[in-house]
Structure 1
Amino acid sequence: MTVLGAYRGLVRDDLGWLNTAGRPDPAETFHRANLPRVGLDDVAAAATGVMCSVALYLHDGDLISNLTFVSAGTAGGTLTNQIAALYSRTGALLAQSADKTSEAWAADTAKTFALATPQRITKSGIYYAALAVAASTVPTLAGTVGAKPFLAGEVNLSQTSGSGIGATAPATIATPAFKRAVPLVIAT
């Protein structure tokens, strides 16, 4: 028996899919993604003014300047606020984007949010990429469904928090609630 139980391989190899999701040629463009780009469907992000945050594994040394979310079958309607933010594993705000206010968001369209201050990651691990949209119709996002955590130390793959969020991201992810729908996010 090894320290890893019955697993005899390299743990990094077993978890490699977390770091290569959607990366056909990682030498071309640096990015990190929380999901592969296959098997995705139309998922609801969150209600208007509610933040949806998804777990995203980042590496020590990564420089994160942008967060990209991809709308699915439903376009945004009468948009008033659209922000993205990057949070630490503890839920502390690291950086947020400018508010895209009423900028259109069509169906099946990637929207990139530039962080006001690019973040150099100093410790590999789970971070949270968040999106909050205030609109009469919040766009659905490309994503998948995930299970609720059940093992000690697991985190929500997707969660909602807050209400009435407009142009400013909350300082912390307060009282997150598990969300089954897990939107795709790409960090560059």
Structure 2
Amino acid sequence: MSTVLGAYRGNVRDDLGWLNVAGRPDPGAVFHRTNLPRVGLDDVTALATGVMTSVPVYLNEGDLITNLTFISGGTAAGTPTAYWFALYSGAGALLAQTADQTSTAWAADTAKTLALATAQRITKSGIYYAAINVTATTPPTLVGTVGAKPVLTGEGNLAQTSGSSLTTTAPATIATPAYKRQVPLVLAT
């Protein structure tokens, strides 16, 4: 017998109860959107110097996104010369970028929150892309997870790379994205 829940036969509220602890805090107290739950995360090598990594994040109509946060893992940024975060539309068009952080240190195990140059009011619910680029002798590792390559028609990448030799400015579009196994955690606030 199939129901509105498909083939699932359990109590959804009971099965998802762990999210009350592992998931996000009360959204009424701290507004944010994220691409991953807080469980199953580890230290991942998600970056290559001068190559942008982007991840999909679902945003709701009316959300006001002013900041993006990525968290370094066990490896700090070694001699950074440029790094920034950016928000892209679902079609891959640049909406806003943070200021370039030039040589500002980024220590290991540290959340880095950067303000978008222009806050973005989301006008249509859907997938958007949060991106990060670090140009450094050693890019930091990031808190994240490992994702499988898309296998079904219509599936998107959980992380992707694009561009090369990037420095201070985010590209106007996410051009020729390539699948990336390591998926960094991002928080949009």
TM-score by length of 2: 0.89
- 3-state DSSP of counterpart to 1:143: strand
Aligned-partner residue type, residue 64 of structure 2: L
**1:168 counterpart residue number:** 169
Provide the identity percentage.
Answer: 75
Does the 8 Å contact 1:22/1:33 carry over to 2?
Answer: no
Aligned-partner residue type, residue 59 of structure 1: N
RMSD: 2.6
**2:39 counterpart residue number:** 38
**2:146 counterpart residue number:** 145
**1:117 counterpart residue number:** 118
**2:86 counterpart residue number:** 85
Deviation at 1:173, TM superposition (A): 0.4
Deviation at 1:154, TM superposition (A): 1.5
Aligned-partner residue type, residue 80 of structure 2: L
Unaligned runs of 5+ in 1: none
The answer to whether structure 1 residue 24 and structure 2 residue 21 are counterparts is no
Q: 1:186, 1:150 → 2: CA distance?
A: 27
The structure with the larger Rg is 2
**2:184 counterpart residue number:** 183
Does the 8 Å contact 2:22/2:39 carry over to 1?
Answer: no
Deviations 1:74-109 (A, max 9, x none): 000100001100011111111100001111100000
Q: How many residues were matched structurally?
A: 186
Q: 1:65, 1:21 → 2: CA distance?
A: 24
Change (3 A) 1:67 1:153: same
Deviation at 1:8, TM superposition (A): 8.5
- 3-state DSSP of counterpart to 1:57: strand
**1:104 counterpart residue number:** 105
Q: 2:159, 2:42 → 1: CA distance?
A: 15
**2:64 counterpart residue number:** 63
Aligned-partner residue type, residue 138 of structure 2: T
Does the 8 Å contact 2:63/2:122 carry over to 1?
Answer: yes
- 3-state DSSP of counterpart to 1:173: coil
TM-score by length of 1: 0.90
**1:133 counterpart residue number:** 134
Does the 8 Å contact 1:21/1:33 carry over to 2?
Answer: no
Q: 2:28, 2:144 → 1: CA distance?
A: 25
